[in-house]
Amino acid sequence: MANNLRETENLQEHLQRVIQLLYEHKLAEGLLPPQPLPEQGLMDGLLHGQSLAELQKLLDELHPADVAHILEVMPLEDRLLIWDLVKAERDGEILLEVSDAVRETLIASMERGEMRAAAEQLDADEIADIAPDLPRDVLEDVFQSLPMEEREKLRAAMSYPEDAVGALMDFDVVTIREDVTLEVVLRYLRRLNELPDQTDLLFVVDRNEYFKGVLPLNRLLVSDPAALVSSVMSKETIVFYPDERAQQAAQAFERYDLVTAAVVNAEGKLVGRVTIDAVMDFIREESASEALSVGGLSQEEDLFAPIWKSLKNRWTWLAINLVTAFVASRVIGLFEDSIEKLVALAALMPIIAGIGGNSGNQTITMIVRALALGQLNGGNARMLISKEIGVSAVNGVVWGAVVGGFAYIIYRNISLSLVMMLAMMLNLLLAALMGVLIPLTLHSLGRDPAAGSSVMITAVTDSGGFFIFLGLATLFLL
């Protein structure tokens, strides 16, 4: 934990240093009005024109992921200046680390030859990750420049959807035979320049590449070198298929504490592996996508994207929200006479709608999480609906009594207090029911269950809450 904290602190220090050096550069170039600078070191940097050189040296020393973070938090003009200072041989690995939205801006600033050179630095599975952002002609050039075996790997990696195991698959595997001794395996490993990242086991295959099992490295190191691989290897292991859902693989990695796992085709031949770092990236991207969907954003957005692009990303659900707001206003319009006769209704009805919206969003969060973890199915959906309705019923009684008491203290009207209590109970029940049905319906239609759910539940609880409260008030108070 202490190491992680220190790494975060170092990254923030590096970011502040980059900002400072950029500031020095802009002052030296006359891009900013001259200002008194208290630090002598800063003055020296200006006098000797070393700002960009020092910035480039700092970037060269940083991990690609740290450079990617710095690029993501910089305004577009500064981002492109920093990107120009990055060494060309590091372009590919940094493009892998940045978000999709930022990668788009970086690639847009590159020439065709630069894009091709950056892609050629990567393995086939890594090229597939950035392929959607590359121009078609550049991707074709890269494809033609690869050896035949790498072309087939790239074609295979690009053939799977983003949410499939095949999209996470890594082709860099170490395979061994089951009929050789551990001493032979050790000699073979010593001849390799290095082991692939995240290697905690070796994959055992026969001469036709059919998967037989795995040999954990810890067993290899502590077992008798004269023993055969077949006597030490594990045949009971977790395997995945390329067309399986990546979400299921992520759950398996978490459940069984996996570091790597084999990927086999329908015939049982080893075609690649999935590693924990790829799974973690997938989980992070899914979490980010879910958070954006809940907020009604259609896709990931660059913090410093042009205004028009950001508008297009946000307009869809804002337009839907506007329609639902008009619906809610017309519901209120139906009861204008009631509100005129008892003005207190206008002051109290937002309470009913607001609490209902919050309760509905809590339910939606639970349901979306259960769907993501594979905990929700047709067999337990009805039980879950009953449970959420029960929770909302209790909340309705408790918080209905609170708001009813609040209304009585202010208006000294017991009938109004009882109407408040009943309306709160009914709207919370409506919020619970819709909080379950909205994500389940989206999921059954093959849509993201989080997409716009908060907007929809707010629309339902607003319109429903207004109708329930004003309707009850009209029946019992007027």
Average pLDDT, the chain: 86
Over residues 59-85, the mean pLDDT reads 92
pLDDT band with cut points at 50, 70 and 90 for residue 40:
very low
Q: What's the rounded Cα separation, in Å, for the pair 52 and 78? A: 12
Give the residue carrying structure tokens 């029960």: 390
Over residues 13-41, the mean pLDDT reads 69
Answer yes or no: is pLDDT of 224 > 90.
yes
Over residues 393-417, the mean pLDDT reads 91
Over residues 173-192, the mean pLDDT reads 95
Answer yes or no: is pLDDT of 449 > 90.
no
Question: What are the CA-CA distances from residue 248 to residues 82, 160, 163, 167 (Å)?
Answer: 39, 15, 10, 13
| For the chain, counts of helices (H) and of strands (E) | 23, 6
Residue 287 pLDDT: 77
pLDDT band with cut points at 50, 70 and 90 for residue 20:
confident
Structure confidence by residue, pLDDT tens digits, 271-325 = 999 999 999 989 888 877 776 666 666 566 677 777 777 777 677 777 877 888 8
Structure confidence by residue, pLDDT tens digits, 456-472 = 888 899 999 999 999 99
The dihedrals phi and psi of 354, each to the nearest 5 degrees, come to -65, -45
Asked if CATH classification 3.90.110.10 holds for the domain at 307-477, the reply, yes or no, is no
Structure-token pair, residue 446: 């093959």
Higher per-residue pLDDT: 41 or 22:
22
In terms of CATH architecture, what is 175-294?
A: Roll (3.10)
Answer yes or no: is pLDDT of 44 > 50.
no
What is the length of the chain? 478
What are the boundaries of each domain within the chain? 10-161, 175-294, 307-477
Over residues 47-67, the mean pLDDT reads 82
The pTM score is: 0.74
Burial state string for 50-83 with b = 16 or more CB within 10 A and e = fewer than 16: bbbebbbebbeebebebbbbbbbebeeebbeebb
Asked if CATH classification 1.20.120.160 holds for the domain at 10-161, the reply, yes or no, is no
The dihedrals phi and psi of 190, each to the nearest 5 degrees, come to -65, -25
Structure confidence by residue, pLDDT tens digits, 76-133 = 889 999 999 999 999 999 999 998 889 999 999 999 999 999 999 999 989 999 999 9
